[in-house]
Structure 1
Amino acid sequence: MRPKLKIIPIIVGLLTIALILTSALLIKTQNVYAAKDEKYRNLDTFTQVMHLIETSYVEDVENKTMVYGAIKGMLAELDPHSTFLDPDTLKEFREETQGEFGGLGITIGLKDKILTVIAPLEDTPAFYKGILSGDQIVKIEGDSTAGLSLHDAVKRLRGKPNTDVTITIHRESTKKPFDVTITRAIIKISSVKTSMIGNTGYIRLTQFTSHLSDSVAEAIKDLDSKGADSYIIDIRNNPGGLLSEAINVSSLFIPANKIVVYTKDRQQTRQDFKSRIFSLKETEKPIIVLVNGGSASASEILTGALQDYERATIMGEKTYGKASVQSVIPLVDGSAVKLTTGKYFTPTGRGIHGIGIEPDINVEFIAPEVDENEKIVETKTVDLSKAIIDLEKDNQLKAAVDKMKELVKDAK
């Protein structure tokens, strides 16, 4: 009898544990069903609105039109970079350079839901018309841009080469909005421009395009051969580009196998991107990186890495603050959503999305005085790989040159 008596407490204990686990499972199941019930109630509201439109709206509306509109509305509630691509738009999105289209040469974004110029690209129609980073595009061809999605804005700005488009600009330094008419053109830019300023090699990066790191490596070799003892890397008004090239360019200036940037998704899964092994490494000479509010995305990856590893002195103005990852996810009917699926972080873990990177030395740009009768000359430089230097009109670059003299002196 005694062995049986010993078993009874064990059985009671197991039954208690089972009861607790069952209760917990029931509570969890109830919570799941409650969440589902809430979701279904919201869908009931959505279905009710669709039915009202189908039965009571003054005109017939295609079902697909309503569904696509609802999807666009959902994505618009998330962030400026998440958007819906219908089958035709997705086709355009994937056609990289097939069927030439004309552009203005600006990178745009939605800032506080206002269509804003992130940066004008050098040697493009918008650049020669004097469009500036931070300019707000309030109208396109007289139509308000309020509520216009980023993708739809791009479609309206693009068009056949040699055709005009008029945009209305609001600029903080001007009292009233003003119109600018720009002639579209096939956009061809030189991603790397170089020059020597005394003994300092000046490298201007306009965009992180394919094979940019190869061009930067060649530029370093060329400037080295001319006696460069330091470098100024100018990424002002550089809107970014390829993540791979941001990593490759960073790899030229920091040791191999160092974290350049990492991403985290919704589940907080981390993916590290490390510097690569290159035959050319410039890890000793002093570097200054020039940035401003038009420095975004890949530019901020380079800036963050060089700042975190104390490899460069960052000068200029706070960067734009675009550090999110977008994925294009196809849907069953041939359309797709471009959805923000992660965020970038600098090597030390700084989240800069919507914040930007503060320079080590803040230098506000002072626009040079321009004669009222002087008009912008729309002539392109003969050699697009040659940087045009004018320290009298560029106080930020002049400040960088002066600071570099101190750094070189201290390094000796």
Structure 2
Amino acid sequence: MNKSLKKPILIFVLGLVVVSGFFAFKAKNDKLFALAKNIDIFATMVRELDSYYVDEIDPDELVTIGINAMLEDLDPYTTYIPEEESADFRMMTTGEYAGVGALIGNRGEGNIIIMPYSGFPAQSAGIRIADLLLKVDTVSVIDKATSDVSTLLKGPANTEVFVQVKRGEDTLDFNLTRKKIVINNVPYYGKLDANTGYIKLSDFTTNASNEVRKALLDLKGQGVDRLVLDLRDNPGGLVNEAAEIVNLFIPKGKEIVKTIGKLEGVNYTYKTTKTPLDKDIPLVVLINEHSASASEIVAGALQDYDRAVLIGRKSFGKGLVQTTIPLSYNAQLKVTTAKYYIPSGRCIQAIDYTQTRQSGELTTVPDSLRQEFKTKNGRTVLDGAGIEPDEYVESESYSPISYSLVARNHVFDFATEYFYKHESITDPSSFEVTDQDYEEFMKWLEGKEYDYTTYLEKSVTDLTKYAEKETYYDEIKDQIEAIKKRVNHSKEQDLITNQEEIRRILSGEIVSRYYFQEGMIESGIKDDPTIEEAVKYLSEIDRYKETLTASAK
């Protein structure tokens, strides 16, 4: 190159660098100025509202509302956690808190015990499901919000709390000692048959992987040589726990999930770091539309490595990673900082929140834009809409009468009365509502309100609504009325027609009175169509293996 040209070119390049640096510096400064300006406007506005507004305002409440409204425009996972909510947030992420160990809820007359957890203060002291809470210490809680009652029951470990409940016509007092409560991530595990183990994983809080490991070791010790891992209705949690669970079944050194965001500090690759507990045991993973986040990492990674057959329904589609950042005055910001990508390279995030903000409506990734990826064995999988199962099982739908009986607490109340009339029942796996029990239930329902609209009645109502708009309605009016009379439901007949379904719901609720959460899960296993399909799959090992090969797709 001509030496005389080198200097102008060098000057030109340096000029570009300076100009681009200037614009970058200016853009950054402009952004910082805009932030400072708007924060100042916001602070000034709150101060002036406090001074001039006709009524007294609560600045803390007003600012919190403003912050939450701002964050709602981003995504539902970016949230503000004020100091007073830090304990609840810690409990959600760690599964630990100090209290009496009972789930409470409002069923109309007030706050009642929904479920005392086995082995913790409430259950050990004799507090039972359906006990109505009257007092916590000296505070009457009859008309208090459930969240306020929950706060009163919690406190430092080893401190005393007085609880007064109403049980039927009796008023009972309990002096409880709060304890550190650790909610099990694995509320139940057991054998589905002589060779098939089952593990229900409900959360991904601290220690989830150890709980799964212990359950699997125990099952293997009982002769189990195939496994069903149930992730249905599991909302997710800690990514590192998900990685450790995958590592139970996948060899050391394999990539499980990548997190990729705007800042280098949030980019991370999780790999298996240990020798697996069992890399060969035939494995089925159950998922549904409520399996999210860490559940999808586990299910997706095992699918990408062709290590498990997935059965159920398409998962939720949450491929976003959150980081908790400390703020002033012990507040925190949980903010979306990255997306995660499972081993095949796909991101399973289903909702595009950038497009949602622009359109004002939830925007999902259209099928035409979903990309294809390959599993280890060459099977085709898609991104952009959750994890799709290898074997689809329809969602079980309940009849309108069943929904009504549950919603109006008739199933709950009958189970409570049954408990006080029967000292004991058989084990959860074999207990069933007898013909006599069901006849008593139908008699017990007499005079109680549980009206509902059947699917057929709704169809006729819709037909009438549309027919009334037609000019010939008068000609068919009598025929429609005749149809209405024929389809008007008989509640007594519906109790007979749907008794198998209702008896199954009743059985689970009654079992919970004697065996609590663990028993309720065990009771529901025997009639679960998704679990039945999983057991069938694992018993047909050739079909299982074929599904995990590319030729099956």
Q: Distance in 2 between matches of 1:121 and 1:271?
A: 39
Alpha-carbon distance between aligned partners in 2 of 1:85 and 1:410, rounded to the nearest angstrom = 46
Q: Is 2:326 aligned against 1:296?
A: no
SS in 2 for 1:381: helix
Q: Give 1:361 shift.
A: 0.8
1:307 equivalent in structure 2? 303
The equivalent of 2:501 in structure 1 is: 369
Q: Which residue of 2 aligns with 1:246?
A: 242
Report the CA distance shift for 1:302/1:410 in structure 2 as closer, same or farther (over 3 A): closer
Q: CA deviation at 1:261?
A: 1.6
State how far apart, in whole Å, the 2-side matches of 1:321 and 1:373 are: 30
Taking the TM superposition and a 5 Å limit, the aligned residue runs for 1:86-235 are 86-90=82-86, 93-94=89-90, 96-100=96-100, 102-104=102-104, 155=147, 158-160=150-152, 189=184, 190-235=186-231
Give 1:402's aligned residue: 536
Using the alignment, how far apart are the partners of 1:335 and 1:395 within structure 2?
45
Could you tell me how far apart the structure 2 residues matched to 1:122 and 1:256 are? 40
CA distance 1:229–1:23, change in 2 (3 Å): closer
Give the helix-richer structure, 1 or 2: 2
Q: Return the index of the structure with the highest Cα Rg.
A: 2
Distance in 1 of aligned mates of 2:520 and 2:88: 33
* CA distance in 2: counterparts of 1:387 and 1:211, whole angstroms: 21
- Residue by residue over 1:124-153, the C-alpha shift from the partner in whole angstroms, topping out at 9 and shown as x without a partner, is 99xx99xxxxxxxxxxx999xxxxxxxxx9
- SS in structure 2 at match of 1:337: strand
Cα distance in 2, alignment partners of residues 308 and 122 from structure 1 = 39
Number of corresponding residues: 350
SS of the aligned residue for 2:329 comes to coil
| Aligned-residue RMSD, C-alpha | 4.3
State the shift of 1:289 in Å. Answer: 0.9
Alpha-carbon distance in structure 1 between the residues aligned to 2:513 and 2:164: 18
Q: Distance in 2 between matches of 1:391 and 1:92?
A: 31
Distance 1:64 1:391 in 2: 48
Distance, in Å, in 2 between the alignment partners of 1:384 and 1:33 is: 58
Q: Distance in 2 between matches of 1:202 and 1:159?
A: 35
TM (norm. structure 2) is: 0.53
Q: Amino acid of the residue matched to residue 266 of structure 1?
A: K
Q: Classify the secondary structure of the residue corresponding to 1:340.
A: strand
Q: Secondary structure at the match of 1:207?
A: coil
AA aligned to 2:216 is I
TM-score with structure 1 length normalisation? 0.68
Query: 2:501 is paired with a residue of what secondary structure?
Result: coil
Report deviation, 1:360: 0.8
One-letter amino acid of the structure 2 residue matched with residue 340 of structure 1: T
Matches within 5 A, 1:39-54: 39=35, 42-43=38-39, 46=42, 49-50=45-46, 53-54=49-50
Out of 256, 272, 275, which is 2:269 matched to?
272
Between the aligned partners of 2:345 and 2:519, the Cα distance in structure 1 is: 35
Deviations 1:74-124 (A, max 9, x none): 22322222222223333554474235575359xxxxxxxxxxxxxx99979
CA contact (8 A) 1:235 1:291 kept: yes
Change (3 A) 1:10 1:154: farther
Do the aligned partners of 1:82 and 1:337 also contact (CA within 8 Å) in 2?
A: yes
Distance 2:230 2:8 in 1: 74
* Secondary structure of 1:329's aligned partner: strand
Query: What does residue range 25-36 of structure 1 map to in structure 2 within 5 Å?
Result: 25-36=21-32
How many angstroms apart in 2 are the aligned matches of 1:91 and 1:374? 36
Quote the offset at 1:193 in angstroms: 1.1
Deviation at 1:48, TM superposition (A): 6.5
| Closer, same or farther: CA 122–195 of 1 in aligned 2, 3 Å | farther
Q: Offset at 1:315? A: 0.2
Change (3 A) 1:160 1:227: same
Shift of 1:332: 2.9
Q: Which string of whole-angstrom CA distances, capped at 9 and with x for unpartnered residues, describes residues 14-49 of structure 1?
A: 554454444444444454455456556655754664
Q: What's the offset of the Cα at 1:63?
A: 5.1
In the other structure, the counterpart of 1:138 is none
Tell me what 1:113 maps to.
Answer: none
Distance 1:40 1:218 in 2: 53
Distance 1:71 1:348, change over 3 A: same
Residues 204 and 233, structure 1, Cα contact 8 Å, conserved in 2? yes
Relative distance call for 1:85 and 1:24 in structure 2 (3 A) is closer
Instruction: Work out the CA distance in 2 between the residues paired with 1:334 and 1:348.
Output: 40
1:357 — aligned with what? Answer: 387
Structure-1 separation of matches of 2:20 and 2:346: 39
Aligned CA distance change for structure 1 residues 29 and 81 (closer, same or farther; 3 Å): closer
Contact map agreement 2:116 2:516 (CA 8 A) in 1: no
The answer to which structure, 1 or 2, has the higher relative contact order (CA under 8 A, 6+ apart) is: 1
Q: Following the alignment from structure 1 to structure 2, what is the Cα–Cα distance between the partners of residues 248 and 263?
A: 16
* Letter in structure 2 aligned against 1:57: Y
- Kept in 2: contact 1:194–1:386 (CA 8 A): no
Letter in 2 for 1:363: V
Residue pair 1:191, 1:208 contacting (<8 A) in 2 also: no
Take 2:189 and 2:90, find their aligned partners in 1: how far apart are those partners? 29
**C-alpha displacement at 1:71, in angstroms?**
2.5
Distance 1:28 1:163, change over 3 A: farther
What letter corresponds to residue 357 of structure 1 in structure 2? I
Aligned-partner SS, 1:262: strand
Name the SS for the 1:193 alignment partner.
strand
The farther-off stretch of 295-304 and 381-390 is: 381-390
Gaps of 5+ in 1: 1-5, 106-119, 130-140, 144-152, 165-185
Q: Percent identity?
A: 29
- Partner letter of residue 337 of structure 2? T
Could you say what secondary structure the match of 2:502 adopts? coil
